[in-house]
Amino acid sequence: MQNLPSVEAAVARLVVDLDYDALPAEAIQGARRLMQDQLALQVGCAALPWSQAVLDLARGRHVPGTAHVTVAGDTMSAADAAFVNGTFGHGFEYDDAHRASSSHPGSCVVPTALAVGEETGATLRDVLLGIVAGYEVYTRIGVLAAPELLERGFHPHAVLANFGAAAVVAKMRGYDLERTVHALSIAMSHCSGTTEYTSSGGSVKRVHAGIGTRNGILAAGMAEAGITGPLAFLTGNKGFYRTFVGRPLDASLGVAAFGLDAPFEITRIWIKPYCCCGINHAYIDGARRLAGRVAEIDTVELGIQTGGDIIVGTRNANAYAPQSIENLQYSLPFQVALALLGRGNGFGTHHEYMDGRLDLSPSGEIAALANRIRITARPDLDAAHPGKWVADITVTYRDGTREHVFVDSPLGTAENPINQSDLDTKFRDLTTTALGQARAESLLTTITHGDPTLPTSTLVKHLIP
């Protein structure tokens, strides 16, 4: 293509040239682990109120098709089914995270690949390849946009999902270089979504995955229909990086980042052990170490990175007075208090809040402890730990002694991964009630050990009780 900038060419070639047989084993294993976690979450979160609201909306407005909605079993177009399933998978702050881009690729690329796979009659091999292609485009664009994308108030997942879904479709439908460029370029026209939900709530945050995923699929469809986008959609004077991130992108850095010889980001997925914003996780790990002396604590001081402070700290309007489930899952002081008190930070604890069984009133012990926690933004932590969410905790006890805990790599990250046994436990916790034990176990076996030639439809049938 004439006049195609080098960075945009590199992104498109990453999609077009990606080959299953050339993928490192770690990338394929990463895709399977991602699929395992994401599909469990789709099953476990399908009954949540906002999930059901999105399903009801889609039922009234969907385009007919052959892709299935998880658990419910409705058939819709790939775009509509992925819209619903992506919302399910992102529905409770429990889905995978990618630290360097502050995002959640799984709830985009997995529902897209399965929906397109059903639509095209693809195999598990095709689905895994599509997942890798989408994940790499999504995260590599995101890494180069960090930390400014988050710090400017955008929800990175809502923005990046558009690119990820378009890349999955381009790969699985076999687009050439030109059509892939236009699919990704048109995806940029759909990018939107801020993190205001962390302060003033709003269940639309749960739908950000579905919105971006659906729009990315539609963007690819527009490219297939002959609609074109600006060629310099990433690096132009009014392209993605200057407009959304606020700075130009160095072309040599971009070309290197999107090369097939660059490290695969999908080998570094973060599987969440806690059902809240990932920025809280290192602090929860640290607080759990201190829980044995909670009765002796006078005050807790938390040093936090500047981006984290915007989301879960002092720039979060309801961090010290959560009024909704979104507020609670994005409140650093309350998540630390829950961990210190041994109340847990998982799926069950947050359901207790939704059911009115978790006391967060000002007179309760959780709020009393949370209000003894102070948060200080620390730019030095940004400089020392780029691409990570770390925790710096200092506790002062009533006898005047102090204890310092620093957590560099929280549980679930690539540096401190959840083992397969614990991932399987999370899977069973989320799926057994909805699917029944036999179907849940069959689904797990298919995901982890299914032959790459297995039809997508065989995998999907396990998702419907």
> Per-residue pLDDT tens for 196-253?
999 999 999 999 999 999 999 999 999 999 999 999 999 999 999 999 999 999 999 9
Nearby residues of 316 by Cβ (< 8 Å), 6 or more positions away:
198, 199, 310, 330, 331, 332
For range 44-51, the mean pLDDT? 97
Give the three-state DSSP class for 407.
Answer: strand
For range 412-419, the mean pLDDT? 96
pLDDT digit string, tens, across residues 419-455 = 999 999 999 999 999 999 999 999 999 999 999 999 9
Q: What is the pTM of this model?
A: 0.96
Nearby residues of 428 by Cβ (< 8 Å), 6 or more positions away:
440, 444
CATH-assigned architecture of domain 278-407: 2-Layer Sandwich (3.30)
Cross-strand partners of 297: 397
Predicted confidence at residue 58, as pLDDT, reads: 98
Q: Provide the mean pLDDT of the chain.
A: 97
Q: Which CATH number fits domain 6-268: 1.20.1260.10, 1.10.4100.10, 1.10.1020.10, 3.40.50.1580?
A: 1.10.4100.10
Phi-psi region of 76 (alpha: psi -120 to 50; beta: other; left: phi over 0): beta
Predicted confidence at residue 175, as pLDDT, reads: 98
Asked whether this chain's domains 6-268 and 278-407 adopt the same fold, the reply is no
Nearby residues of 191 by Cβ (< 8 Å), 6 or more positions away:
158, 159, 162, 163, 212, 240, 244
Which residue carries 């967060």 as its tokens? 360
Q: Where are the domains of the chain?
A: 6-268, 278-407
Contact 241, 78 (CB under 8 A): no
Question: What is the rounded end-to-end Cα distance, in angstroms, of the chain?
Answer: 48
Give the neighbor-by-neighbor strand order of the sheet with 297-304. 373-377, 297-304, 391-397, 402-407
pLDDT digit string, tens, across residues 305-358 = 999 999 999 999 999 999 999 999 999 999 999 999 999 999 999 999 999 999
pLDDT digit string, tens, across residues 158-212 = 999 999 999 999 999 999 999 999 999 999 999 999 999 999 999 999 999 999 9
Q: In angstroms, rounded to a whole number, what is the distance separating the alpha carbons of residues 42 and 157? A: 17
Predicted confidence at residue 1, as pLDDT, reads: 85
Q: In angstroms, rounded to a whole number, what is the distance separating the alpha carbons of residues 455 and 460? A: 9
Q: In angstroms, rounded to a whole number, what is the distance separating the alpha carbons of residues 397 and 403? A: 8
Q: In angstroms, rounded to a whole number, what is the distance separating the alpha carbons of residues 133 and 329? A: 30
Integer angstrom CA distances of residue 365 from 290, 334, 343, 399, 402: 17, 11, 11, 21, 22
Predicted confidence at residue 233, as pLDDT, reads: 98
pLDDT digit string, tens, across residues 251-288 = 999 999 999 999 999 999 999 999 999 999 999 999 99
Percent of the chain with pLDDT over 70: 100
Q: How confident is the model at residue 136 (pLDDT cuts 50, 70, 90)?
A: very high
Q: Which amino acid is at 265?
A: E
- The candidate with the shortest Cα–Cα distance to 113, out of 90, 89, 131, is 131
Predicted confidence at residue 386, as pLDDT, reads: 93
Cross-strand partners of 396: 299, 402
Contact 322, 364 (CB under 8 A): no
Phi-psi region of 192 (alpha: psi -120 to 50; beta: other; left: phi over 0): beta
Q: Rg (Cα) of the chain, in Å, rounded?
A: 21
Predicted confidence at residue 40, as pLDDT, reads: 98
Q: In angstroms, rounded to a whole number, what is the distance separating the alpha carbons of residues 100 and 390? A: 12
